[in-house]
């Protein structure tokens, strides 16, 4: 969320004032026709047809966002009640207002539609030499194989004064005012701890070690959502003294982890039920064949394959049940009834198999 922004005095020297070339690209973005602004896909298509370089395309996208979306604290309720990214984007497009999450997800989605990797980064900020008490969101975009950072919310407040200070900012400069919850998303080889950021120590501690953030980010982007949440939780917990915003972030991550695990458990349980039902269908097929005095005729290999199929389905069901039982979710599903039904079904299949082998028709 955005609080009143006062640019620190030490940062004024690093402020990116709008130069003539940038101003042209931002103006072109601001002048995108209203008829194509119904979705990020149509805005991106227009931008691609009017700008050839990736840099100019991102400038146009940024220029449109910071001149057409207005910060409105009343939009905060939408973010609290619904974290759906699509709704945050549609709300910003339709209402032309929002809070930092709306700005960030809208700009990030434009960049993705333009073909550039983009991440929404959650964290908090330093203003007037002190840590602000409200969380904030901004964007990281990879352009020309380099990650840079953007804060469309803050620039939307300043563009009216001819300033665009947080467009394609280097991570080393951005960390002076923006601390992501996940230290990986500082995009630097020696991340600052939360304590260092709070104290204004921007050089980092050499004893903390160095990592190759480009490889680490590339690996992170290949992870599943569950793996991303788990790795982020570990990094956050090892990055120094937390505060209430960090604690809330950890709680949110754990909720996301729990939701994913429960969804996976439900999928495995349903997979077990489906396999059980398929085994029942195959068994009923054999029972109908038996009740019809083994007519029309089937070869032994066909009937044995039918029994093998039943057993394969039971094995598949038990594999899915095992995954449910091994789940790390806090709330787990009770598989006892299904396991009992599988045992009963397996005994019925064995009995029918013995009957067939004792009474199979002679050819």
pLDDT in tens, 295-326: 999 999 999 999 999 999 999 999 999 999 99
Q: Which residues of the chain have pLDDT under 50?
A: 1-21, 78-82
In a domain, 253, yes or no: no
Sign of CA dihedral 142, 148, 154, 159: negative
Burial of 190 (0-12, 13-18, 19+ CB in 10 A): middle
In a domain, 332, yes or no: yes
- Asked which of 148, 180, 212 is the last residue of a domain, the reply is 180
In a domain, 197, yes or no: no
- Asked which of 132, 159, 180 is the last residue of a domain, the reply is 180
Same domain for 168 and 271? Answer: no
3-state SS string for the chain? CCCCCCCCHHHHHHCCECCHHHHHHHHHHHCCCHHHCCCHHHHHHHHHHHCCCHHHHHHHHHHHHHHHCEECHHHHHHHHHCCCHHHHHHHHHHHCEECHHHHHHHHHHHHHHCCCCEEEEEEEEEECCEECCCCEEEEEEEECCEEEEECHHHHHHHHHHCECCCCCECHHHHCCCEEECCHHHHCCCCCCCHHHHHHCCCCCCHHHCCCCHHHHHHHHHHCCHHHHHHHHHHHHHCCCCCCHHHHHHHHHHHHHHHHHHHHHHHHHHHHHHHHHHHHHHHHHHHHHHHHCCCCCCCCHHHHHHHHHHHHHHHHHHHHHHHHHHCCCCCCCCCCHHHHHHHHHHHHHHHHHHHHHHHHCCCC
pLDDT of 298 reads 94
Same domain for 57 and 161? Answer: yes
In a domain, 210, yes or no: no
Same domain for 115 and 18? Answer: yes
Range of the domain at 82: 9-180
- The pairing of strands 130-131 and 118-127 is antiparallel
The pTM of the full predicted model, rounded to 2 decimals, is 0.83
Residue 319's CB is within 10 A of a number of other CB atoms, namely 13
Supply the CATH number for residue 26's domain.
Answer: 3.10.620
In a domain, 269, yes or no: yes
In a domain, 42, yes or no: yes
pLDDT of 202 reads 76
Same domain for 59 and 171? Answer: yes
pLDDT of 21 reads 45
pLDDT of 84 reads 72
- Asked which of 160, 180, 200 is the last residue of a domain, the reply is 180
What's the total number of domains in the chain?
A: 2
In a domain, 26, yes or no: yes
CB 271 within 8 A of CB 320: yes
Same domain for 28 and 129? Answer: yes
Same domain for 32 and 147? Answer: yes
pLDDT of 163 reads 81
pLDDT of 208 reads 61
Same domain for 270 and 151? Answer: no
In a domain, 206, yes or no: no
């Amino acid at each position: 969320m955005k609080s009143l922004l006062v640019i620190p005095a030490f940062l004024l020297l690093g402020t990116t004032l709008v130069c003539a070339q940038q101003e042209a690209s931002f103006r072109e973005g601001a002048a995108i026709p209203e008829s194509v602004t119904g979705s990020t896909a149509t805005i991106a298509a227009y931008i691609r047809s009017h700008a050839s370089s990736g840099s100019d395309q991102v400038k146009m996208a940024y220029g449109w966002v910071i001149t057409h979306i207005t910060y409105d604290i009343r939009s905060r309720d939408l973010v609290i009640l619904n974290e759906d990214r699509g709704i945050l984007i549609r709300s910003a497009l339709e209402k032309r207002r929002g809070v930092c999450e709306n700005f960030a997800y809208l700009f990030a989605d434009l960049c993705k539609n333009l073909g550039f990797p983009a991440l929404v980064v959650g964290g908090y900020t330093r203003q007037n030499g002190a840590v602000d008490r409200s969380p904030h969101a901004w964007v990281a975009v990879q352009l020309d194989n380099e990650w840079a950072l953007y804060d469309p919310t803050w620039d939307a407040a300043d563009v009216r004064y001819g300033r665009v200070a947080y467009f394609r900012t280097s991570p080393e400069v951005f960390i002076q005012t923006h601390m992501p919850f996940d230290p990986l998303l500082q995009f630097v080889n020696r991340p600052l701890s939360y304590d260092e950021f709070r104290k204004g120590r921007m050089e980092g501690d050499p004893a903390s070690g160095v990592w190759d953030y480009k490889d680490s980010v590339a690996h992170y982007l290949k992870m599943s959502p569950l793996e991303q949440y788990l790795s982020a939780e570990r990094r956050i917990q090892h990055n120094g003294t937390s505060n209430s915003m960090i604690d809330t972030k950890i709680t949110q991550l754990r909720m996301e982890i729990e939701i994913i695990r429960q969804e996976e458990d439900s999928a495995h349980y349903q997979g077990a039920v489906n396999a059980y039902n398929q085994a029942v269908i195959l068994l009923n097929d054999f029972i109908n064949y038996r009740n019809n005095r083994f007519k029309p005729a089937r070869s032994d290999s066909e009937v044995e394959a039918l029994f093998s199929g039943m057993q394969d389905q039971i094995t598949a069901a038990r594999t899915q049940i095992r995954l449910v039982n091994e789940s790390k979710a806090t709330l787990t599903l009770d598989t006892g009834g299904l396991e009992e039904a599988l045992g009963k079904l397996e005994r019925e299949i064995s009995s029918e198999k013995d009957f067939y082998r004792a009474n199979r028709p002679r050819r």
